[in-house]
Amino acid sequence: MLLVNQIKLPLGSNAQSAIEAAQKQIGLRVGQIKAANIAKVSVDARHGTPALVYTVAFEMQDEPAFLAKNKNIKNVSYKQRQTLCFEKPTQKLSYRPIVCGCGPAGLFAALLLAQKGFCPIVLERGQDIPHRMAAIERFNAGGILDVNTNVQFGEGGAGTFSDGKLTTRINDPLCDFITETLLMHGAPKEIAWQQKPHIGTDLLRDVIASIRNEIIALGGTVHFETKLTGLVKKQGRLAGVQTTNGEIPCEALVLAIGHSARDTFAMLKEQGVALQAKPFSVGFRAEHLQTEIDKALYHSAAGHPALPKGEYQLSSHVNGRCVYSFCMCPGGNVVAASSEENTVVTNGMSYHARDGKNANAAVVVSVNENDFNGDAMQAIAFQQKLEQHAFLLGGGNYTAPAQNIQSFLAGTAQLNTDILQPTYPRGVTAADMSVLFGEELTGALQAGLRSFNTKIKGYTAPEAILTGVETRTSSPVRIARDSNYMSADIKGLYPTGEGAGYAGGIISAAVDGVRVAKSMIDTFLPPL
């Protein structure tokens, strides 16, 4: 298809006017066009009144020939549709492959394996979505934490309760495959063209269940409340897995355990799998009134029905560290994301409508190998110490420490909620969170917040609130694998996704799961 970029039109424009403008821009006649649609819509609010910026996709009889004859046309590119191509496998599997983890990486790996006749066995330590919802509601209401079924663990993984954001920085043809699959399973159609697509936590649940049902319909099996507890090895190769529900023989295991499976990381180390420490980030959730974010970004056009809820992405480099916003949730809520007893962890989410009063985003500072001596288990302990300290600072019972941004900048413990009410469901306690991070990290976060205020007017407004602590930005661990995506230590083990250190977010994790499944399909014949 031909992609015509940078079609800038006023807020009152529509898809048809964008298609006509793109057609005129490159001189296409109606008879040359087989199909036309909108590939992407973004907002340009940099120069006063915001405008809509379209990318229009045209299908023609001979697109490369048209481009060759019209080399001087600006803002036009050719995109060839990518299809998954597989090699002819030579090795036989005696047993069905196992996929451990039901997050994006595990789900998409299992789906592709099921589509190719491998009938995978999927193991998930948590519960299915209906039971998971009930467990989270019990925790939010009464502080009763299920360490295996919570915001981090259960069907869909951590991404199920993080807005269903599909924004990614990777440029991989498989991203289109992921989007198309999500659309086939009921995701809202606008994710195909939004600049920052999101499904919404409420709609994502049904999409995930639909994918699981397809896996089962194709011969796969899904075992909830089944945790991986050990590996069975013979002569350096995988021969089976040990679980809380017994031992299962297998020669190929997709290890898609997510970034919070600390007990599984410890088990893997005991089994001889090398764990490498990797950088991640820590901080808190910043909440603002969504209307104020909209005004700061869109100015007098704020509230226009053609404009999406205002989103931001900010960063500042401070003394060799990066302070940045992450996982911004317009019109959303701060989430209680603990997965271990006596810890406080925050995350953020939005429903599809994004109609909540508050905007929230993680504001975090980077930490690296030097902060935990390059040791993977010390990196995990670094996270745990912050979470345990936040639990105590919040007063126990999973309430969270919180303060106004100006209070954090001043080093005090003030929390005024007259204008903005924090959305963390377990409740908050006024506290000075500088004691959590220490002098260096606190100084970096303070400098970053001041920098953000120069980029978004009112970012450090008196009513803005910080709630802590945010520690699960990415996995603190990477599990080494070779060019075939197989573990460097155990043959037949395929570390995958965010928990293994190879992804960050729903799309990149799903893409990595598909890459791993494809490698397995290229290598093995399905078991009888």
- For the entire predicted model, the pTM comes to 0.95
Task: Tell me what pLDDT residue 4 has.
Answer: 93
> pLDDT tens digits, residue range 369-421?
999 999 999 999 999 999 999 999 999 999 999 999 999 999 999 999 999 99
> Architecture of domain 91-274+481-525 in CATH?
3-Layer(bba) Sandwich (3.50)
CATH class of 2-78: alpha beta
**At residue 355, does pLDDT exceed 80?**
yes
Instruction: Return the DSSP state at 193.
Output: T
Distance CA 37, CA 35 (A): 7
Distance CA 71, CA 324 (A): 40
Q: How confident is the model at residue 80 (pLDDT cuts 50, 70, 90)?
A: confident
**At residue 82, does pLDDT exceed 80?**
no
The answer to which of 73-87, 466-480, 481-495 has the lowest mean pLDDT is: 73-87
Nearby residues of 199 by Cβ (< 8 Å), 6 or more positions away: 163, 164, 166, 182, 187, 188, 191, 207, 352
> With contact defined as beta carbons under 8 Å apart, do 463 and 416 qualify?
yes
Distance CA 53, CA 37 (A): 14
What average pLDDT is seen over the chain?
Answer: 95
Domain boundaries, the chain: 2-78, 91-274+481-525, 279-470
Run of H or E including 182? helix 174-184
Task: Tell me what pLDDT residue 83 has.
Answer: 83
> pLDDT tens digits, residue range 421-459?
999 999 999 999 999 999 999 999 999 999 999 999 999
> With contact defined as beta carbons under 8 Å apart, do 314 and 452 qualify?
yes
Q: Is 258 helix (H, G, I), strand (E, B) or coil?
A: coil
> With contact defined as beta carbons under 8 Å apart, do 399 and 312 qualify?
no
Task: Tell me what pLDDT residue 140 has.
Answer: 97
Q: How confident is the model at residue 233 (pLDDT cuts 50, 70, 90)?
A: very high
Task: Tell me what pLDDT residue 56 has.
Answer: 96
Q: What is the DSSP string of 19-65?
A: HHHHHHHHT--GGGEEEEEEEEEEEE-SSSS-EEEEEEEEEES-HHH
| 355 CB neighbour count, 10 Å cutoff | 12
The answer to which of 82-86, 224-228, 235-239, 467-471 has the lowest mean pLDDT is: 82-86
| Same fold for the pair 2-78 and 91-274+481-525 | no
> With contact defined as beta carbons under 8 Å apart, do 500 and 478 qualify?
yes
Per-residue pLDDT, averaged over 85-114, amounts to 96
